[in-house]
Amino acid sequence: MSHGARVIRTGVSSGGPVDPPPIAVASSSAGSDAELIEGSYFRSFAGMLKMAQMISLLIGFISVNNSPWTDYSAYSFFQIVTMCDLVMILFFYIIHIFRVYRSLTCVSWPLSEFLHYLVGTILLLIGSIVAAAKSYNLTGLVAGATFGFLATILCVISMWSSYKVSCITQSTSE
């Protein structure tokens, strides 16, 4: 069985040896591909926004966890939503830092991140509203609901900055 013609590429042409490429170009291209961690994502707007979301979710979870509860179902829902949202944001943060999206091309990463933010933000908003309504002026519960609202706002900002749709009017020329 023939599998077709195969092409084998070499660095040397049939005319003779070719001068090696400059060292600066070779090391810069090899260095960018060989680096394990993308350091620029730490300092980017999206990276700092994800970090602020994770910190506000963690503070909200800890403040609700360490205060006396008056309604078990409301605050257990709030804790589950904050931890699930925190884990998913951490998951996408690690995917961006280690450039996993380059090797796993079968997954639409922008779409999956958008759907996560959409569902997570709605659930976090519901949990924060319920937690604020059932807080009965206990400081830990009010602080947890406040940080839940802050994380909701940060998630909306992240969705807006990453997935804003610009309406462009098209003119018809005759």
Contacts of 98 (CB under 8 A, 6+ apart): 36, 37, 38
Report the C-alpha gap between 93 and 88 in whole angstroms: 8
Q: Residue 44: how many CA atoms within 13 Å on its side-chain side? A: 13
Q: What share of the chain is helix, strand, coil (3-state, %, to 5)?
A: 65, 0, 30
CA pseudo-torsion sign 43, 49, 54, 58: positive
**CA dist., res. 155 & res. 57, Å (int):** 11
Q: What is the pLDDT of residue 41?
A: 87
pLDDT at 3: 54
The pLDDT assigned to 33 comes to 53
Give the pLDDT confidence score for residue 16 in this predicted structure: 47
Give this prediction's pTM. 0.73
Could you list the mean pLDDT of each consecutive 10-residue stretch along the chain, which spans 174 residues? 51 48 45 68 91 97 89 90 97 91 87 92 96 89 96 94 63 59
Predicted confidence at residue 92, as pLDDT, reads 93
- pLDDT of 25 reads 44
CA atoms within 13 A on the CB side of 123: 19
Kindly report, residue by residue over 77-93, the tens digit of the pLDDT: 999 999 999 999 999 99
For residue 5, the model assigns a pLDDT of 53
pLDDT at 30: 43
